[in-house]
Amino acid sequence: MTKQLMRSAGQIVFGMILMCSALPVFAQVSAEEAAGGGQIIRKEKEEGPPAHLCAGCVAPMFTQGSKGTLTPYGRIELDGIYSTRNTNPLDPQQFNGYGTAAGRQGNHSSTLNPRYSVIGLRADRTDGVNTLSGVVEADFYGQSDSGNNLLPRLRLAFMKYSPNNGKTSFTIGQDWNPIMGLLTDSIDFSIMGYTGNLWQRIPQITVRQKFSDNFEGLLTVMRFEKGLSNCCGNTQVRPTPAEGAVGGGPTSTAAFNDPVQMPYFGTRFAYNGTGSMAGTMIALNGAYRYYRSAPTPLGVLQTPGRDINSYLVGLEAVHQLAKQLRLMWEVAYGQALGNEWFRWNQDLNWQTGAPVRTFTSWFQLSYAYSRDYTFLFGYGIDNPLDRDLKGSINAYGTAPGSAGYNSSIQYLSNQRTYLTAIHPVWADLTMGFEWQHFWTNWAQPDTYTAKASNQADMFTLSAWYNF
């Protein structure tokens, strides 16, 4: 018994000595953790990389042989707007009304709009040959505000990789539409949408190739997460399957029953001038998508089950006319062009379900008068074929649910002109003033032609700080 007690006591004393000898080691580790912000820094020379368990797991970052940067950026902007168009320019549900003369000419309104402010983060890495960049960017044009709380919205979220210093590049994620990619310099948020400029920010996989200093091309696959816009009861479902088949039905609204199943496939080939032609660019664009239209629970699309071939062909160009004078323009023709081209609910005839063809064009003349002032003049038109819209409207009406509610949605033509003055104040603080005039001929029966035509003006005084 005595020997057993002595053995136990000896083990306890030995354990205490061992613990005391280990205390400096523990103290050293704690100091290293404190120096590293509470994180143990793994030394790759001493340890191999951990096993890569799965695609969704956190993987180690290897930075040897490359240099990287992380850059936050943004824009603070306030737009003072006076409009005669009877629309709310702050409401993202009214994108159509925001780009058209949608209301009575005598109904004026004004507002202060901070929604176009932007926050973003950019990461870049290169080893001298490979380059990798990523961008995440948001503004505040989320869903309609509640209690004046402005919700953020994802604008951009893409990665771009090149294995040969930019000669070949791969863009994966949500970026600007690479087809008909020219943008106006106007202050207005809609960037001439609905009046000739076919633009969007859209999820895509795009491969770009520079063939020489002058020629480049791209191939892209792009589509929205959902193929339909949130407008006018336009919640479409898949057609009823044949007897015994598996699939969506007339009451199925599951995400994967989205009728617009296929992405757009697009290409662009461009010439960029050098030497005496520096500043000149001309590009040929094309895109195509097929899908089969589906019925709507609220009867917006009266004739479902149509084979829809959506396509676009277009030209865009930039001309440096003089040192201080530049001309940009686009012209395009297409069919069933909707959300992906900032043309919500303009793609199909709501009565027959047939695709609507349209001609679009815009131009902008930019004059840099001095370092203190730049002036812009631009014009654009979106001109659908009248016969493709025949029957889409029954009668003139503006109240939801009334006959002819679509009269404030689809138009026979929509035109806009603008004059803009931009003045840098100091550093990155800039002010601008813009006047826009709209002419909209709404899709109405002949007996309502007089009611269907509207004109309106919008004046914007804007200040923004890029950082």
pLDDT averages per 10-residue partition of the chain, 467 residues? 51 49 39 34 41 47 70 95 68 58 68 91 94 95 73 94 96 98 93 94 97 97 77 52 48 55 94 92 97 63 78 97 96 95 87 91 97 97 91 53 54 93 96 94 55 79 96
118/340 Cα distance (integer angstroms): 22
CA distance 316 to 270: 9
Total-model pTM: 0.79
Torsion sign over Cα 229, 348, 364, 283: positive
Q: Which CATH number fits domain 70-466: 3.30.70.2740, 2.40.160.10, 3.40.640.10, 1.10.1040.10?
A: 2.40.160.10
Query: What distance lies between CA 272 and its chain's CA centroid?
Result: 25
272 C-beta neighbours (distance < 10 Å), count: 18
To the nearest 5 percent, what fractions of the chain are helix, strand and coil? 15, 40, 45
- Tell me the two tokens of residue 272: 């960029």
Domain locations along the chain: 70-466
The H or E element containing residue 10 is: helix 2-35
DSSP character string of 291-311? EE----TTSSSSS---EEEEE
Tens of pLDDT along 41-55? 333 334 444 444 444
Residue type, position 54, single letter: C
CA separation for the pair 93, 100 (Å, rounded): 14
SS3 109: strand
What are the backbone angles phi and psi of residue 118, rounded to the nearest 5°?
-135, 140
Q: Could you tell me if 189 and 98 are in contact, meaning their C-beta atoms sit under 8 angstroms apart?
A: yes
Encoding tokens for residue 383?
Answer: 């001109």
CA distance 347 to 309: 11
pLDDT tens-digit map of 70-89: 999 999 999 998 888 665 55
Smallest CA-to-CA distance from 379 within 200, 198, 195, 199 is with 195
